[in-house]
Amino acid sequence: MAHGPAKGITRWFFTTNHKDIGTMYLWFSFAMFLLGGSFALVIRMELFQPGLQIVEPNFFNQMTTMHGLIMVFGAVMPAFVGLANWMIPMMIGAPDMALPRMNNWSFWILPFAFALLVSTFFMEGGAPNFGWTFYAPLSTTYAPDTVTFFIFGVHIMGASSIMGAINIVATILNLRAPGMTLMKMPLFVWTWLITAYLLIAVMPVLAGVVTMMLMDIHFGTSFFDAAGGGDPVLFQHVFWFFGHPEVYIMILPAFGIVSAIIPTFARKPLFGYSSMVYATASIAFLSFIVWAHHMFTVGMPLFGELVFMYATMLIAIPTGVKVFNWVTTMWQGAMTFETPMLFSIAFVILFTIGGFSGLMLAIAPVDFQYHDTYFVVAHFHYVLVPGAIFSITAAVYYWLPKWSGKMYDESLGQVHFWLAFIGLNVTFFPMHFSGLAGMPRRIPDYNPLWADWNMISSIGAFLFGAAQILFLYIVIRTIVSGKKATDRVWEGSHGLEWTVPSPAPYHTFTTPPPKEDMQSY
């Protein structure tokens, strides 16, 4: 138990250590982010001008689909699991994750799942080209044969997520150090606990829906075929029953991260800790009863539309509580603006903008005009890129000194922030306009009416991409030659993870930490 890491590559292959596994998750996620991002760059290049430039329409659809799939399942989700692996045991004073071997299995399934998915590019028929939402029957009867591999890829990736989530629940409920009561847990732990429940509840439903597809494709069933009494819309209901909680899976841990960072740099306790917990739980609960807001145009009965519209609007309330709590945490603090704080503040502002457009989308009669246009694309990139991605970036800056024992270069961090901030807004803000002006999503070519906005978006995308390369450089430089970091790292930091040395020893908390170190902050 007391030994350090094994030597050589087998350290990573066979490890059971939560820090090793967290590290692998994070690097894997970053690699996927670059891959998904380069697909986005292909999309942006093609859309730089009207007319077909560099790719065939079918390949364009493959790019869009794989961009969405890889970003969602390959970049954002694994990054959060990686952070959970690193931080949750340290935050609750546990020696490791509850089920360490299964933990490593959860990770190692992922590279294979994505190898399976990406390998379809090189097969006859090409990669999935039916959108990340893979609506039937485009993804069944009319899909390339490679869809079979897509389905199995989703299956095993889902298994990985479920195991990861079970592990997190078991860790949080069972491995808290004595004295670490539920209401003393850092919010990151809380948000992850709730996220893990969401995962366990909806990943099996995703597995179910791809299984139905598999059956329709290979065994002649009629789930999504009206000729046999099935319904293509059934697919959408099942998919979005998974899909909507899924988008909150991608944002709740982000809320937790920001709730850790803002108090640190405002040097003031988090405002409304318990309301934050309740708000998170309410969001999670509501997320199960709003799914059909993605389907306002499929022709649901009036009553259904109204119910889903009201439920969706309700989510603004608990989310608002969170936003107001963050703002009030900053109020009358003594703020400094290190890189993690900058990313967190940008998170609050830009996520709120994304939330506003979400609320507009929730208004069913108006969604008839927004649906499947770039307005939706703008909405979800505002909640995902400055939401999920910025929070992950902030987390990396915030905890990297604890992980590596080295401090990143603050001025480079600031440059990264401003590049990313500007690049992101230049890329995604104009999409609101092109969308409102009527540009549909998922098209490789368009009327010159929208040319100006698209050109700006494309330029922004490359700027944002460049910022990510800088990020990679900063992280590597820190690990290789950063200055030594202190144990506390930040002046205002609170919580168990800051009581251990930097870098955190390979095994932390083999004996429980003293109770005095635990208080909610």
The catalytic residue among 216, 246, 338, 367 is 246
Q: Is 507 a catalytic residue?
A: no
Name the CA dihedral angle for 404, 405, 408, 410, rounded to a multiple of 10 degrees: 150
312 binds ligand HEA (CB under 6 A): yes
Token pair recorded at residue 263: 């108090």
Q: Is 379 in the site for Cu ion (CB under 5 A)?
A: no
Residue 18 contacts residue 98 (beta carbons within 8 Å) = no
> 67 catalytic, yes or no?
yes
Q: Give dist(CA 244, CA 249) in Å, integer.
A: 9
Per partner kind, with CB cut-offs from 5 to 8 A, the member of ligand HEA, Cu ion, another protein, none near residue 366 is: another protein
Shortest distance in whole angstroms from residue 400 CB to another protein: 22
Outline where 175-224 has alpha helix (H).
Answer: 187-218
Q: How far is CA 137 from the centre of its chain?
A: 28
Q: Is 294 a catalytic residue?
A: yes
Report d(CA 376, CA 210) in Å as an integer.
25
Task: Specify the length of the chain in residues.
Answer: 521
- Catalytic residue, from 184, 237, 441, 507: name it: 441
- Looking at beta carbons only, is 44 or 244 nearer to Cu ion? 244
Lookup: tokens for 284: 């999670």
Residues 80-109 that bind ligand HEA (CB under 6 A): none
What is the nearest approach in angstroms of ligand HEA to the Cβ of residue 284?
11
Q: Which residue is nearest to Cu ion (CB)?
A: 244
Q: Taking CB under 5 A as the rule, does residue 371 contact Cu ion? A: no
Report what 55 binds from Cu ion, ligand HEA, another protein, none; CB cut-off 5-8 Å by kind: none
139 an active-site residue? Answer: no
- Which of the choices another protein, Cu ion, ligand HEA, none does residue 503 contact, using the CB cut-off of 5 to 8 A by kind? none
Q: Rule CB under 6 A: is residue 455 a binding residue for ligand HEA?
A: no
Selection from another protein, ligand HEA, Cu ion, none that 174 binds (CB < 5 to 8 A by kind) is another protein
Q: Which residues are bridge partners to 484 per DSSP?
A: 406
201, interface contact from Cu ion, ligand HEA, another protein, none, CB < 5-8 Å by kind: another protein
Taking each helix axis from N to C terminus, what angle separates 100-119 and 147-174, rounded to the nearest 10 degrees?
A: 160
Looking up tokens 């002649």 gives 220
CA-CA-CA-CA dihedral for 374, 375, 381, 382, to nearest 10: 150
H/E/C letters for each residue in 83-141? Answer: HHHHHHHHHHCCCCCCCHHHHHHHHHHHHHHHHHHHHHHHCCCCCCCCCCCCCCCCCCC
Distance of CA 21 to the CA centre of its chain: 18
- Is 427 near ligand HEA (CB under 6 A)? yes
- Rank residues 12 and 242 by Cβ distance to Cu ion and give the closer one: 242
Q: 293, 371, 379, 406: which is the annotated catalytic residue?
A: 293
SS3 label, residue 304: helix
Dihedral sign of CA atoms 178, 179, 182, 187 in order: negative
Q: How many CB atoms lie within 10 A of CB 505?
A: 12
Contacts (Cβ under 8 Å, ≥6 apart) of 418: none
Residue nearest to ligand HEA (CB): 37
CA angle 355, 48, 472 (to 5 degrees): 65
Q: Which residue in 15, 259, 280, 499 is the catalytic one?
A: 259
Inter-residue contact 427 to 435 (CB < 8 Å): no
Q: Would you give the binding string for ligand HEA spanning residues 220-249, x where CB under 6 A is met?
A: ---------------------------x--
Nearer to ligand HEA, 155 or 441 (CB): 441
Nearer to another protein, 188 or 291 (CB): 291
Among this protein's residues, is 244 annotated catalytic? yes
Instruction: Answer with the entry of ligand HEA, another protein, Cu ion, none that 4 interacts with (C-beta below 5 to 8 A by kind).
Output: none
**Residue 304: how many CB atoms within 10 A of its CB?**
15
Q: Return d(Cα 140, Cα 214) in angstroms, integer.
A: 8
Q: Which is nearer to ligand HEA, 265 or 464 (CB)?
A: 464
Query: Which residues 458-487 are close enough to bind ligand HEA by CB under 6 A?
Result: 461, 464-465, 468-469
| Residue 256 sits in the site that holds ligand HEA (CB under 6 A) | no
What is the closest distance, in whole angstroms, from the C-beta atom of residue 446 to ligand HEA in the complex? 10
Nearest approach, Cβ of 361 to ligand HEA (angstroms)? 3
**How big is the site for ligand HEA, counted in residues (CB under 6 A)?**
60
Residue 427, classed as helix, strand or coil, is helix
Nearer Cβ to ligand HEA (421/498): 421
Question: Catalytic site residue 101?
Answer: no
Select the residue interacting with ligand HEA from 100, 245, 355, 435 (CB under 6 A).
Answer: 355
Q: Which one of 44, 244, 381, 494 is in contact with Cu ion (CB under 5 A)? A: 244
137 prior amide bond cis, ω within 30 = yes
Which letter does DSSP use for residue 206 in this model? Answer: H
- In this structure, are residues 244 and 256 in contact, taking their beta carbons and an 8 Å threshold? no
Position 315, amino acid: I
Task: Give least dist CB 208 to another protein, A.
Answer: 3
Specify the DSSP element, H or E, that contains 338. none
**Which one of the listed residues 244, 402, 432, 494 is annotated catalytic?**
244
What's the CA dihedral at 43, 47, 48, 54 to 10 degrees?
70
CB of 80 to another protein, least distance (A): 18
Interface residue list for Cu ion (CB under 5 A): 244
Residues noted as catalytic? 67, 96, 132, 160-161, 244, 246, 248, 259, 293-294, 319, 322, 441
Residues within the interface to ligand HEA (CB under 6 A):
34-35, 37-38, 40-41, 43-44, 64-65, 67-68, 71-72, 75-76, 131-133, 247, 250-251, 293-294, 312, 315-316, 319-320, 323, 352, 355-356, 358-359, 361-362, 367, 370-371, 376-377, 379-381, 383-385, 387-389, 427, 441-442, 457, 461, 464-465, 468-469
